[in-house]
Amino acid sequence: MDVWSTRSLTKRFGTFTAVQDLDITVGEGVTGVVGHNGAGKSTLIRMLLGLEPPTSGTATVFGIDPAEDPRGARARVGFMPEYDCLPPDVSAARAIMHYGRVSGLPRDIARERASDVLRHVGLEEARHRPVGTYSTGMKQRAKLAQALVHDPDLVMLDEPTNGLDPAGRDEMLDLVQRIGHDFGISVLVTSHLLGELERICDHVVVLDGGRLVTSAAIGDLTADTGALEVEVDGEGATSGLIAGLHCRGIEAGRSGSRVVVPDGSGDARAAVVELCAQNGWGLSRMTAARHQLSELFLGEDDAA
């Protein structure tokens, strides 16, 4: 089933074109929309929510055109904006319950749902504190809770890891992955960091300057490179394994703590196992190397 789609979707602000002729179809699961700042990610979300009319073309959410029926489109969608949207002097429990009521939930159910979603995002013990006393990571999780309170079929998360330290970023990404894979809620998440989306998404949409670069399943973009990545334990094991492979005419090199064998054929695998056994090295990991999105598109420096 198509969750959201666009056809020749274009948005101009005066002479500036924010989004140009987007043709995208996305099904269920976690979809990442990635691109530099100004790539058109937020504008795309605003058009999918019916908050910004397209200049031309169409968008649909669960078959509904948000430009024609914004309330109908938003009824099944939760939205976590990049900006702060919760009042700082109100407790998270009260604010989230209010959003549930605005979404049409009866008071008792809204209160129960607020408690549930705050527990899911790890804010159960802090739910009665004013949002203004929260850390940046806690505020982001509270914003996520408000997007979930009415039990939507799709949540749109605009740069949910912005401003977070590495630990907070990992925590948020884990939550997003749980929403999509454990709770069965489809997710549209934007980021300017390809590595983040590669970790949690089933599908990725890459935008550049408002234009579509690609829209594809992660697995199709991160196919095997044909190389082998090996991690071994033991004093001098990494350099010893490389030397041993060279003696057998097998090309190998180091990448950080890993041994990389460009030709990861069966002969190379057998040689790695044999050398580890002969020298008493522990074979921690031996896997096929896969392409990374950052290699295919922006490059890790650009993606950061």
Distance CA 161, CA 136 (A): 10
Q: How much is the pLDDT for 223? A: 64
Give percent above pLDDT 90 in the chain.
78
Q: Of 60, 70, 72, 59, which is closest to residue 10 (Cα–Cα)? A: 59
pTM metric for this prediction: 0.77
Has residue 304 got a pLDDT over 70? Answer: no
Has residue 299 got a pLDDT over 50? Answer: no
Instruction: List the domains of the chain with CATH numbers.
Output: 4-215 (3.40.50.300), 223-297 (3.30.70.260)
The pLDDT tens digits of the residues spanning 138-193 come to 999 999 999 999 999 999 999 999 999 999 999 999 999 999 988 889 999 999 88
Torsion over CA: 26, 32, 38, 43 (sign)? positive
Distance CA 173, CA 74 (A): 24
Angle formed by the axes of helices 237-247 and 266-279, to 10°?
130
Q: If you ran DSSP here, which 8-state letter would residue 299 be given?
A: -
Q: How much is the pLDDT for 224? A: 65
